[in-house]
Amino acid sequence: MKIIARTFIGKVSQTMALCLLFSISSAYAAAKMPSFSLPDAVNGSTVSSANFTGKTLLITFFATWCPPCMQEVPALIELHQQFSKANFSVIGLSVDEGGADIVAKLVAKRSINYPVLMADATTAHNFGGVVGIPTSFLVNKEGNVVKKYPGYVPHTILEQDIKKIMN
């Protein structure tokens, strides 16, 4: 019985140490958002990450053919509208290979109210290698990526996280 107890305590200690290590590393894991200059999907003008200096951002990589990406659009529209007066912006980064025309049609059809840019492989790589879509990144007003969301994220979670870093 003593051996089992020691083994259990040892495992608990290891688990606690790992949890502490992960919580410390995530507290310091914020990295500067990579800079970018990308074409706007609607008008083709070049938009730079410098245009968003000092803003809280939710940057989302998506494609028009991706069902979970399209499922997020209404929530992203709402979040952009809700927080834009508080120096917040959603930025859509399309990875569509069919070109900007397809994305521009989506922007018009869905009345997307946030900037939608045409991403390239370099941009996806610079964000840490976007391997699936949707993938979103929450960026604080200092320009640090503070959270990564792989896959579809419910509106309530995004709203809660945005509020946390804006306060």
Which pLDDT tens digits describe the chain residue by residue (167 residues)?
444 434 333 443 343 333 333 333 333 456 999 999 999 999 999 999 999 999 999 999 999 999 999 999 999 999 999 999 999 999 999 999 999 999 999 999 999 999 999 999 999 999 998 999 999 999 999 999 999 999 999 999 999 999 999 87
DSSP at 146: E
d(Cα 167, Cα 152) in Å, to the nearest integer? 25
> Which pLDDT score, from 0 to 100, does residue 7 have?
38
pTM assigned to the model = 0.81
How open is the CA angle 32-145-147, to the nearest 5 degrees? 155
**Token match 């370099």: residue?**
122
d(Cα 35, Cα 57) in Å, to the nearest integer? 13
> Which pLDDT score, from 0 to 100, does residue 9 have?
38
SS3 19: helix
> Which pLDDT score, from 0 to 100, does residue 1 have?
46
**What phi and psi values does residue 63 have, to the nearest 5 degrees?**
-145, 150
DSSP at 5: H
